[in-house]
Amino acid sequence: MMSRIARLLPVAGLLLATTATPAAYADGLDMSHGEAVKLFWKSEEIYDRNAQTVTLTGGARAVRGDVTVDADTLIGYLRKKAAPQGQPATPPPATNGQTGGEADPMGGSLELYRIEARGHVHIYNQTDQGWGDRALYDMDQAVMVMTGKNLKLTTPQDVLTARDVMEYHSKTRMSVGRGNATVTTNDGRQIKADVLVSFSAPDSPAPAGQAQPAKSDGSPLGGGSSKLDRAYGWGHVVLRTPTQTATGDRGVYVFASQIARLIGHVHVTQGQNQNNGSQAIVNMKTGIATMLPGSDSPIQGLVVPNEANSSQAPK
List the single range of 131-135, 201-205, 277-281 with lowest mean pLDDT.
201-205
List the single range of 20-34, 77-91, 99-113 with lowest mean pLDDT.
20-34
Q: Averaged over 271-292, what is the pLDDT?
A: 84
pLDDT over 80 (residue 197):
yes
CA 11 to chain centroid: 31
pLDDT over 70 (residue 310):
no
Q: Averaged over 166-187, what is the pLDDT?
A: 89
Confidence class for position 289, pLDDT limits 50, 70, 90: confident
Pick the more confident residue, 16 or 36: 36
Decide: pTM greater than 0.75. Answer: no
Angle at 81 between CA 76 and CA 85, to 5 degrees: 160
Question: How many Å apart are CA 210 and CA 193, to the nearest integer?
Answer: 41
Confidence class for position 295, pLDDT limits 50, 70, 90: low
Q: What is the dihedral of CA 177, 181, 184, 189, to 10 degrees?
A: 120
The answer to whether residues 75 and 118 touch, using CB atoms and an 8 Å cutoff, is yes
pLDDT over 80 (residue 96):
no
Which residues are CB-contacts of 240 (< 8 A; sequence separation ≥ 6)? Answer: 189, 190, 192
pLDDT over 70 (residue 98):
no
pLDDT over 50 (residue 87):
yes
pLDDT over 90 (residue 251):
yes
pLDDT recorded at residue 34: 62
Q: Averaged over 83-103, what is the pLDDT?
A: 47
Angle at 170 between CA 169 and CA 171, to 5 degrees: 100
DSSP at 98:
B
Q: Which backbone phi and psi does 16 adopt, to 5 degrees?
A: -90, -5
pLDDT over 70 (residue 16):
no
Strand partners, 291: 280
Give per-residue burial for 208-225: e unless 16+ CB within 10 Å, then b: eeeeeeebbbbbbbbbbb
Question: How many Å apart are CA 122 and CA 120, to the nearest integer?
Answer: 6
pLDDT recorded at residue 308: 46
The answer to whether residues 230 and 218 touch, using CB atoms and an 8 Å cutoff, is no
pLDDT over 50 (residue 94):
no
pLDDT over 70 (residue 88):
no
Query: At 90, which helix (H) or strand (E)?
Result: none
pLDDT recorded at residue 32: 63
pLDDT tens-place string over residues 18-67: 443 332 223 456 666 667 888 999 999 999 989 999 999 999 999 988 88
pLDDT tens-place string over residues 108-145: 578 889 999 999 999 998 888 899 999 999 988 889 99
Query: How much helix, strand and coil, in percent to the nearest 5, is found in the chain?
Result: 0, 50, 50
Read off the amino acid at residue 255.
F
Mean pLDDT rounded to a whole number for the chain: 75
